[in-house]
Amino acid sequence: MVDSGTDETRQAEAARRGRKLFGRTLINIFQQELTELCSTLEARDCRHVRCLRPNDEQKPLFFDDKSMLRQCRYSGLLEATRIRRQGYAHRRSLSHFASRYALLLAPEARRRARQVMAGSLKA
């Protein structure tokens, strides 16, 4: 005959172990995904990241087209894409900018721009 007190104690301990294991697993998964995201972003030359909510109900794997389009419009993402498609440069390197507009600078600033173009100074 099994004592019900010890049986309940074992069940409670098993439940606690299950919660700890589940909690650790969830945290580990989150940390791993966050680490992968950070390494992906660091591997690219990203200047900023735009976060969009796929839906207002916070349902997984469900994308509300109207909500996504509204967010893209309000954040300026569509306008930036349109401008890029027209052929306007999004970002230029400092050395390219300095070589193009150095003539507009005062003589002292022009010398500094030449040093930047030569690569002797860091931006």
- Would you say the pTM of this structure is higher than 0.85? no
| 40 and 79 inside one domain | no
Number of domains in the chain: 3
| 5 and 41 inside one domain | yes
pLDDT (tens digit, 9 = 90+) per residue, 75-116? 888 888 888 888 876 667 777 777 777 788 888 888 887 777
Query: In which domain, by residue range, is 27 found?
Result: 1-48
User: Mind spelling out the 3-state secondary structure of the chain?
Assistant: CCCHHHHHHHHHHHHHHHHHHHHHHHHHHHHHHHHHHHHHHHHCCCCCCCCCCCCCCCCCCCCCHHHHHHHHHHHCHHHHHHHHHCCCCCCCCHHHHHHHHHHHCCHHHHHHHHHHHHCCCCC
